[in-house]
Each structure stands twice: as C-alpha cells, then as structure tokens.
Chain A
Amino acid sequence: MAANKIRVHCDICNEPIEFEVSQEKLNEQPSGILKVMLAHGAPLHAIIVYVDKNRRIRGVESSDAFQMEGTRAESFVSASDVSENLSEQMGEPCYQALYSFNEIKDREATAFVLDKTILKTICESGTICLSKIRQNVAFLEKALGDKIDLKQIESVCERYVQDGLIKRA
C-alpha cells in the first residue's frame, strides 16, 4: 500500500504537521473527500483535515475545546475563526451574499430545497467557506436520504455566482 506524506499547517500551535494517507484510502471515499483527524502538540489539540483524491487539502477545521475520555477539560485550546482562516489559506472557495435572504427567497421561490438552504447559509454567515456550508446543510442528508458532497455544493454556489446572487469572497 503506497502511502505519501501530506503537510498541513496548524494555526493553533503554528506548526507544520505531516501525516500519511494512502491513495487507496483516498480513492475509497464515496464523496471524494477524506477527513483526517490529527491530534498533536502540548497541550493536546486536534484539527480535522479534508483531503481530496488529488491529495489536495480542501479545508481544515478545529474544535473549540478538546477533551479525552477520562480526563477533565481544564485547559481549552481556543480555535474560533481558525478553520475559516485556514480554509481561505488552503485555497478553499469562500462565498459572500450580495442580497439579503428575503430578497433572494422571492427570486428563487422555486429553487430546489438544497439550493435554498445553501443560499440561506451564505446570506446568514457573511463570508463562509465550502466546508462550513457543507456542515450547515448536512441535516438535509437525512431529509433527502442521500449524501451531499462538497462538489455538489460548489456547483450550486458557482451557479449562483454566475447568476449574480453571491460572489466569491
């Protein structure tokens, strides 16, 4: 099994982190994106890295608090805003609404429920990156009974960029 190192920068400890992922594992992912949780450093903290099939990092997220079973959460690692800053640095597309959701809602009255949810998320977030949008629309996976991947969300966003309702941030 071929495994190659991928390097990512952790904004919590400001250190480069290397990890290994096999191409087979990446190819196995039905959504095309592998999520890797990297726990490291002192105090121990973690980031989640989203890697696509071309070994490109599509996004990085971190939790606001880190706690291991059997320990007390005495020290929290503050990580607010880290994920979005990192996502932008990693080249992940971010979007910004050009209208309020009420204005868009009327215009897109017949748009599919997923598209409306994406638009609403963008309108309510100011600037938001692709992986964050995915988190916000994840509840629709259960409602629609299928998987909603980043590619699908990006394609909806790009269509609305062309329509002039949102813009790339």
Chain B
Amino acid sequence: MSFFRFRRKKDPARNYLNKMAIGLGAGLVYARDAILNPDFGPQGAMDVLSTWMGQEIAKELLTQKVITPTSSAEEVLEKLLEEVRIAEDLSIEMEGDVAHVVVQNCLICPRRVGGYDLEGHTACPVGGLVRGAIGLVSGKTPQLSKIDLKTGELCKTDFTLA
C-alpha cells in the first residue's frame, strides 16, 4: 500500500490557471447553446468561453489586490496582460475611449504556440479575456469594435471602453 500526500505551495501566480479552468467550466455550462451554434464557429465558441475565463481572472486580480474595483479599464487591461502573459510583445494605444491592442508573438495562440493548423479557423481568446475582465471590474462591458487576427503573426483588436 502506498500513500501520497501533496501539499500545495502558495504561489498566487498559479491561481490564474485554476481560475481559467473555473471560467471554462462555468462557460461550458451557461453557454452550451451558443457554443454549439454552427453560425458562430470556433472563434465564437472561444469568444464566449474566454469571456468567462476573463471574468474569473479579474476576480483573482481583485483578490490579490493587483487591481481594485476603482481601477480604470486601461489599468485592468495592463495588469491582465502582464499577469497572464498573453504575449511577448504587446502594445496598448489609447485614442479617446478606444484601446488599440496589438499582440505580436502571442504566447497563447493555438496555432503559433500550440502547433495546431486550426483548419483555416481562428480561436483567439484575447478579445473574450479582455471583455470579460473589464466588464467584471467596471460593470460596463467594452465593445470589440475591430478585430484583425492573423494567427501567429500580428493580431490587432480595438476595444471601445466607454
């Protein structure tokens, strides 16, 4: 007979993975009809699921006091991208209420990093993550006004924050 006991080391950075799994589980249940809708395709399913993941990550950012409920949308965006390490090169340019997010060398791209060819589809979680996180903190959901995804190369997404 053998007995294993694992004690969890405290590492707040790892909580984000747990939170993403929680968001994924909740999203699968609450959004199951939308996910299965053929009109939306894989990107639509990812939009919905990553919105839930973004909400859960935002809760963890609040718990760890990385952000506060009064943090601006720009701060939430900055900390989210910093803590979750979405990409190697990432820029945010504010133009009035619009945040232009440019992601280069993405670290969560299913195609570039995961090595899947995606059969011509996209499955980018950045838009949903940001939408979910900012929406949870500010109570106002940002609009994804422009999405230009070139998987594995350069992805541009515009968020209207007002």
Chain A at the B interface: mostly helix, strand, loop or mixed? helix
From B12-20, B44-52, B73-81, B102-110, the one touching the partner chain is B44-52
**Bound-complex Cα distance A30 to B140 (A):** 10
Interface residue? B64 (CB, 8 A): no
Give residues in B with beta carbon < 8 Å to A: 26-27, 30-31, 33-35, 39-41, 43-44, 47-48, 51-52, 55, 122, 124, 127, 131-132, 135, 139, 141, 143-145, 147-149, 160
Instruction: Say yes or no: A143-B147 contact (C-beta < 8 A), given A112-B127, A116-B44, A155-B160.
Output: no
Give the Cβ gap from B30 to chain A, nearest Cβ, in Å: 6
B144 and A112 form a contact (CB under 8 A): yes
For B26, what are the chain A residues with a Cβ–Cβ distance below 8 Å?
Answer: 145
One of B30, B41, B139 near A143 (C-beta < 8 A): B30
Instruction: Say yes or no: A116-B39 contact (C-beta < 8 A), given A110-B149, A139-B34, A146-B135.
Output: yes
Chain B at the A interface: mostly helix, strand, loop or mixed? helix
Give the Cβ gap from A73 to chain B, nearest Cβ, in Å: 30
B40 and A156 form a contact (CB under 8 A): no
Sample of 28 A–B contacts (CB below 8 Å): A101-B39, A109-B43, A109-B122, A110-B124, A110-B147, A110-B149, A112-B47, A112-B131, A112-B144, A112-B147, A113-B40, A113-B47, A113-B48, A116-B39, A116-B40, A139-B33, A142-B30, A142-B31, A143-B34, A143-B48, A144-B48, A145-B27, A145-B51, A146-B141, A147-B141, A152-B141, A156-B143, A159-B145
Give the Cβ gap from A112 to chain B, nearest Cβ, in Å: 4
